[in-house]
Structure 1
Amino acid sequence: MAVPKGRVSKSKRDKRKAQSWKIAMPNLVKCSKCGELMVPHQVCKACGSYNKKTIVAVD
């Protein structure tokens, strides 16, 4: 039969679970076309380009 490995205390359990809710700063890179900071692998909000090609017309 399987035997429990051992009781995990409330503080040990809660310390482990406390790490998952923290918000991480998003990784930002410079746009290759305009130089504005943007999220990688997404269309630039400033110039509407992706991979040096204009995808969306921006006013």
Structure 2
Amino acid sequence: MAVPKKKTSKSRKNMRRAHDFLTAPSLSVCPQCKSPKMPHRACPSCGTYKGKEVAGAAKQA
């Protein structure tokens, strides 16, 4: 089995884990209904994408 030869220091461990943090998803605003939506995706509330009604989008009335 592979066993570390030296103890990994707190500094080395934290430097390795520096990129493992979680980032909040970026949100943009829908130009039609002004609700927040994920970029490059159809709006979940009005079902439009780039000013057009998307087929198969679930509309909430």
Runs of 4 or more consecutive aligned structure 1 residues displaced over 6 Å after TM superposition: none
Look up the equivalent residue of 2:33 and give its one-letter code: C
**What corresponds to 2:22 in structure 1?**
23
The more displaced of 18-27 and 37-46 is: 18-27
Using the TM superposition, give the Cα deviation of residue 57 of structure 1 relative to its aligned residue in structure 2, in angstroms. 4.4
Using the TM superposition, give the Cα deviation of residue 12 of structure 1 relative to its aligned residue in structure 2, in angstroms. 3.0
Segments of 5+ residues of structure 2 without an aligned counterpart are 1-7
**What corresponds to 1:35 in structure 2?**
34
Using the TM superposition, give the Cα deviation of residue 20 of structure 1 relative to its aligned residue in structure 2, in angstroms. 2.7
The more displaced of 36-45 and 20-29 is: 20-29
Q: Does the 8 Å contact 2:44/2:58 carry over to 1?
A: no
Taking structure 2 as the reference length, what is the TM-score of the superposition? Answer: 0.67
Taking structure 1 as the reference length, what is the TM-score of the superposition? Answer: 0.69
Helix, strand or coil: the match of 2:11?
A: helix
Indicate yes or no: 2:59 matched with 1:58.
yes
Whole-Å separation in 2 of the counterparts to 1:24 and 1:18: 14
Between the two proteins, the alignment pairs up a number of residues equal to 52
Q: Render the CA deviation track for 1:5-53: whole Å, top value 9, x for unaligned.
A: xxxx532321123223311111111001111011110111111111111
Whole-Å separation in 2 of the counterparts to 1:20 and 1:58: 38
